[in-house]
Structure 1
Amino acid sequence: MRITILGAAAGGGFPQWNCNCRNCAGVRSGAVRARPRTQSSIFVRDDQAADGVLFNASPDILEQIRANPALQPNRRVRDSAIAGVVLMDGQIDHATGLFMLRERGSPLPLWCTDPVEQDLTQGNPILRVLGHYCGVQRERIVPDGTPFTIPGAPGLAFRAFALASKAAPYSPHRDAPVPGDNIGMLITDRTSGRSAFYAPGLGEITPPLFDVMSGADAVFVDGTFWTDDEMIALGLSKKTARDIGHLPQSGAGGMIEWLDQMPANARRFLIHINNTNPILDEDSPQRAELARHRIEVCEDGVTLEI
């Protein structure tokens, strides 16, 4: 299968519009060797298909489509390679790009869990608004590992798993999580049998979830923060990474420790990287540490063959 990284940054992108942290100021001035990134999203196709599945619709989706011609195959007057959209959660940086897909002649095929559908109908009524345009053909995701397929991408199979993380701030589940607020997805090419696990928002890894991750040929997991107190240390928040549903890379029980236990032949990628994370600086000791652990940092516009 082919996975295109449309966006690799967390909410706000990189550099963030109002941020002058070392990373954001440095990339603007050229003092920090880093690549700008849009907000996180991937596009997945099997090896033979032009059409595929968009995972999350970020506010940057129009820029991402322009930057990746594979999403606009130009086969007819109105055309798109997006056969369907899968939402991993209901966060603003993963769902508001749906507004930009409204110029369709038929309802938008959308896969999401019940809690996300509720949040995007009530707390942030994107789906209701789209009803005034193309409409939405919503398909239910049950995050229990049951396999399912998406008609426009028959070469791929999907299994969703409930994750420990955080629902959007406007969700009634924000401080009382329910299964399906956030999901991870195992994506399998039905011809080659190769698979990838995608979880851009991941607050905790349990042994059963790690078993799923360990069976994948590649994992694309939460790269939001380097340390648990990253935002506190910068004076930008009073909450830790774990408080807002993200497992930091460093420290005891962090993402690096878990990824070190993956099978040797599995590729490990970090995605959804916050603008404050020092791994964005390609010359940083943190980036060098990731390289020692054979962990890669996602970049916009890269297509990977898994």
Structure 2
Amino acid sequence: MRVRVLGSAAGGGAPQWNCACPVCRDARRDGRDRTQDTVAVTGDGTAWYLLNAGPDIRTQVLRTPELAPGPGLRETPVRGVLLTTAELDHTLGLLSLREAVRISVYATATVTHALSTAFPLRPMLGAYTDLDWQDLTAGLVLDGGLLVHRLTVGTKRPRYAGDTPGEDWVSALRLTDTRSGSSFVYATCLPAWTPAFGTFVTGADEVLLDGTFTTDDELTRTTGRPGSAQAMGHLPMAASHPMTTGYPGTRFRYGHLNNTNPSLGADIAADGLELLTDH
């Protein structure tokens, strides 16, 4: 299995186009661009799957050699997209994939319904390409020998969804290479570390956690805007980091950093980082 972080920022990226906060100013000065959260995974190095498709997907694919098209004229190693939320910063990139001959999209029934009605991305995309929209169910087996398990971790609706029904709004994914046994957990939108989530990550080789905020009051401290991290559906790093010590065989890193989060270090994912390199 190979896992490549294509984008490591929360919505808006860093630097954000309209922001002059310290993190964005430093990012502009130092050329440290973080694009919006998307990850690519493969079991065999040939068939690649995207975990979410953020607005920066075109840039991310173009700068990732493994995702280059060929040898056929419109042949691409990108076989599909697995959506963990219905948020705009995780789904708008699907529109940038409309030139594909065929797109396979995996999502919960809740997310699919929202993207068919409240924000009709599914019918819009279907006017441009052949859509294969499938339920993101436990035990899903993908090309290249990837076994997918899903856990509902949150029920927070996107703002546009209003009173759209459903419960499975936010998912964590665990992907396992059926040949090597290596496994990776993707949970960049995690509102709480529940016992179920603790069981879900047990035995994983790598986990990419929610790094949106460092503390629960970060947004208010840095911008003056009201709202806590957990009220926005994000467990702060200060709360999740102590939990990771109970899994000595697992490597935890943080992605989906908001532009208010100045964190750096070995446990902070950056664009282009490879987390697993089984071949």
TM range (shorter): over 0.9
Do 2:11 and 2:89's aligned partners in 1 also have CA atoms closer than 8 Å? yes
Moved more, 56-65 or 233-242: 233-242
> Helix, strand or coil: the match of 1:23?
helix
Deviations 1:156-214 (A, max 9, x none): 1000000125221111358x8x4310000110000001111111100011112101112
How big is the shift at 1:65? 0.7
Distance 1:128 1:214 in 2: 38
Distance 2:163 2:23 in 1: 33
How big is the shift at 1:233? 1.2
Distance 2:10 2:216 in 1: 16
> Helix, strand or coil: the match of 2:219?
helix
Do 1:165 and 1:244's aligned partners in 2 also have CA atoms closer than 8 Å? no
2:199 aligned residue = 211
> Helix, strand or coil: the match of 1:5?
strand
* Corresponding letter in the other structure for 1:260: T
2:122 aligned residue = 127
Runs of 4+ that moved beyond 4 A: none
Matched, 1:40 2:37: yes
> Helix, strand or coil: the match of 1:186?
strand
> Helix, strand or coil: the match of 2:90?
helix
* Corresponding letter in the other structure for 2:156: K
Distance 1:236 1:272 in 2: 21
2:256 aligned residue = 272
2:269 aligned residue = 298
Do 2:82 and 2:105's aligned partners in 1 also have CA atoms closer than 8 Å? yes
Matched, 1:89 2:85: yes
Do 2:254 and 2:269's aligned partners in 1 also have CA atoms closer than 8 Å? yes
Deviations 1:61-97 (A, max 9, x none): 0000111011114211112111111001011110000
Change (3 A) 1:258 1:165: farther
Change (3 A) 1:19 1:135: same
Distance 1:300 1:235 in 2: 25
How big is the shift at 1:51? 1.5
* Corresponding letter in the other structure for 2:13: G
Per the normalisation by structure 2, the TM-score is 0.94
Matched, 1:147 2:139: yes
Do 1:232 and 1:238's aligned partners in 2 also have CA atoms closer than 8 Å? yes
> Helix, strand or coil: the match of 2:70?
coil
- Listed as ranges, the matches of 1:281-292 within 5 Å are 282=264, 287=265
Matched, 1:181 2:169: yes
Distance 2:163 2:84 in 1: 15
Gaps of 5+ in 2: none
Do 1:186 and 1:196's aligned partners in 2 also have CA atoms closer than 8 Å? yes
Matched, 1:227 2:215: yes
Matched, 1:259 2:252: no
Distance 1:96 1:236 in 2: 28
How big is the shift at 1:122? 1.3
1:24 aligned residue = 24
- Listed as ranges, the matches of 1:107-122 within 5 Å are 108-122=103-117
CA RMSD of aligned residues (A): 1.7
How big is the shift at 1:302? 1.9
Per the normalisation by structure 1, the TM-score is 0.86
2:5 aligned residue = 5
* Corresponding letter in the other structure for 2:35: T
2:49 aligned residue = 53
Gaps of 5+ in 1: none
> Helix, strand or coil: the match of 1:210?
helix
> Helix, strand or coil: the match of 1:170?
helix
How big is the shift at 1:236? 4.7
1:136 aligned residue = 131
- Listed as ranges, the matches of 1:235-246 within 5 Å are 235-246=223-234
> Helix, strand or coil: the match of 1:163?
strand
2:151 aligned residue = 161
* Corresponding letter in the other structure for 1:256: H
How big is the shift at 1:261? 1.7
1:65 pairs, out of 61, 64, 72, with 61
Alignment identity in percent?
A: 33
